Amino acid sequence: MAQILVTINGRTYPVACHDGEEQRTEELGRYVDAKVRSFVRELGQIGETRLLVLAALVLADELADAQAGSGRPVPLNGAAPDEARAAAGIETLAQRIEAIAARLETAHI
């Protein structure tokens, strides 16, 4: 298992991913960072936890829209097409963000 560093809102997080998925995971991290930075421009620095939760919710909404737009649920198994693989990556990243947000919440940073 590989480990990379993902920077979101100026903070760097170590993230584990499967070997060979480093580039895709870095791309997803940049996508999440862009979302968070757009929220900071709109709302200001409202707290890391809130920003990450907001990003997770927006990404989940985008995933739901993508699934609805296809007329069928996007399969999230290993044999899925590129769109499903991207959706699975976003879902995994959203779960990681939620875990980070929970840790930040309990750390009272």
- The residue among 7 and 101 whose pLDDT is bigger is 7
- The residue among 9 and 109 whose pLDDT is bigger is 9
3 SS3 class: strand
Indicate the helix (H) or strand (E) that contains 41: helix 22-43
Residue with token string 């990681």: 96
What single string gives the DSSP state of each residue in 44-64? ----HHHHHHHHHHHHHHHHH
Query: For the CA atoms of the chain, what is the radius of gyration?
Result: 14
Q: Provide the whole-model pTM.
A: 0.63
Integer Cα distance of 2 and 20 in angstroms: 8
Integer Cα distance of 100 and 103 in angstroms: 5
pLDDT for res 83: 63
Average pLDDT estimate for 24-53: 92
pLDDT for res 107: 58
Per residue in 61-85, pLDDT (tens digit) is 888 888 777 665 545 444 445 666 6
pLDDT tops 80 at residue 101: no
